[in-house]
Amino acid sequence: MGDARFDFDGETVAVTGGSSGIGRAIALAFGAAGATVLNGDVRPDPKVGDVPTHRHIREEGGDAEFLETDVSDPEQLLALADRAAELGGLDVFVNNAGVFEDVPFLGADEATLDGHYSVNVKGVYFGCQAAARHMVDGRGAIVNVASISSRVAQGGLVHYEASKGAVEMVTRGVAFELAGEGVRVNAVAPGIVPTELYEGYSERYRTEEERDELVKPIPMGRPGTPEEVADAALFLASDAAGYTTGETLFVDGGWMVI
Ligand code: NAD
């Protein structure tokens, strides 16, 4: 018999940036666990191959929808949360959408910082607010996607690292404010996970030796998969994490223990 705490049957889950990579894996995992899934992304199609996430979930017998959403616009996040509520009451909101560009500190300009902050920080902040407006006085879970970059500097990424550091603190601050309202807020922090976003970064790592260099700091000696991150997100959203809030769960093959 399965564990009912990981059964999301009858629940509505909104995921931002659910068309590709980690967000897609999270959306598919919730769909497989019985949830009605709403994907809010700037594009319905995955960056690489395959059918759109909502269609994939439907083909597997589940319920899912796509709503075009740019998370840098708080109004569009509110519309996403409103639509999820219409689909049966918003239970889980995953702030996953993020952007990532490799720019050396001395070459970065105001647009570099603004571009990363408008999606990675503003998108998460107002995503939490939009979700909480439907969840207060009830039950709900918010899961934000942080990064090892929330704590570890790697070079060429100060703008991204600063934005992901902020995601961790938004998670803690919102968790504190909503703890008495029955809403838990946590973050999952992936290490290196080959996805479409990671491909830009991996241009620095074209040869096998360069790729070995990239995984060197990982005690487990390999990158993670989007599905491994999705499993952690499901745990944080589930009743199995019922007394956990304000936490950041690293899914990084042990990187943070060094
Ligand atoms: P990805 O590029 O494969 O997917 C990102 C998705 O977000 C895409 O579908 C894209 O269309 C969407 N998106 C981008 N801007 C958006 C916007 N303004 N509004 C709505 N949707 C938008 O990236 P990924 O690797 O799956 O990354 C997902 C999250 O995981 C990001 O927050 C990223 O920072 C984080 N992360 C990734 C890694 C990694 O190694 N891949 C590591 C740590 C953290």
User: pLDDT tens, 20-68?
Assistant: 999 999 999 999 999 999 999 999 999 887 899 999 999 999 999 999 9
Give CA–CA dist 108/189, Å, rounded.
24
User: Catalytic annotation on 160?
Assistant: yes
2 CB neighbour count, 10 Å cutoff: 7
- Ligand 1 atom closest to Cα of residue 118: 18
* End-to-end C-alpha distance for the chain, whole angstroms: 38
**Ligand 1 contact via 145 beta carbon (within 6 Å):** yes
- Residue holding tokens 């096998």? 208
Chain position carrying tokens 């959203």 = 237
1 Cα–ligand 1 center, Å: 35
| pLDDT for position 79 | 98
Ligand 1 pocket test: pick from 116, 195, 222, 255 the residue with the most ligand atoms within 8 Å of its Cβ: 195
Cα–ligand 1 centroid distance for 137 (angstroms): 31
Ligand 1: does its nearest atom lie under 6 Å from the Cβ of 95?
no
- Sheet arrangement for strand 90-95: 63-68, 36-41, 12-16, 90-95, 140-145, 183-190, 248-251
Q: What is the DSSP secondary-structure string of 92-114? A: EEEE---------GGG--HHHHH
Torsion of CA 132, 172, 113, 48, to 10 degrees: -70
Q: Write out the chain's pLDDT in tens, 258 residues.
A: 578 888 999 999 999 999 999 999 999 999 999 999 999 999 999 988 789 999 999 999 999 999 999 999 999 999 999 999 999 999 999 999 999 999 999 999 999 999 999 999 999 999 999 999 999 777 899 999 999 999 999 999 999 999 999 999 999 999 999 999 999 999 999 999 988 766 655 566 667 787 788 888 899 999 999 999 999 999 999 999 999 999 999 999 999 998
What predicted TM-score, i.e. pTM, was given to this entire model?
A: 0.97
**Assigned CATH for 12-248:** 3.40.50.720
* pLDDT score for 71: 99
> What is the distance between the alpha carbons of residues 76 and 73, in angstroms, rounded to a whole number?
5
CB-neighbour burial class of residue 81 (10 A; exposed 0-12, middle 13-18, buried 19+) = buried
Q: Could you tell which of 45, 72, 100 is best to mutate to test the pocket of ligand 1, judged by most ligand atoms within 8 Å of the CB?
A: 100
Task: For ligand 1, say whether the CB of 96 is within 6 Å of any of its atoms.
Answer: yes
Where in the chain are the domains?
A: 12-248
- Exposure on the CB side of residue 29, measured as CA atoms within 13 A: 23
Our answer on whether the CB atom of 42 is closer than 6 Å to any ligand 1 atom is: yes
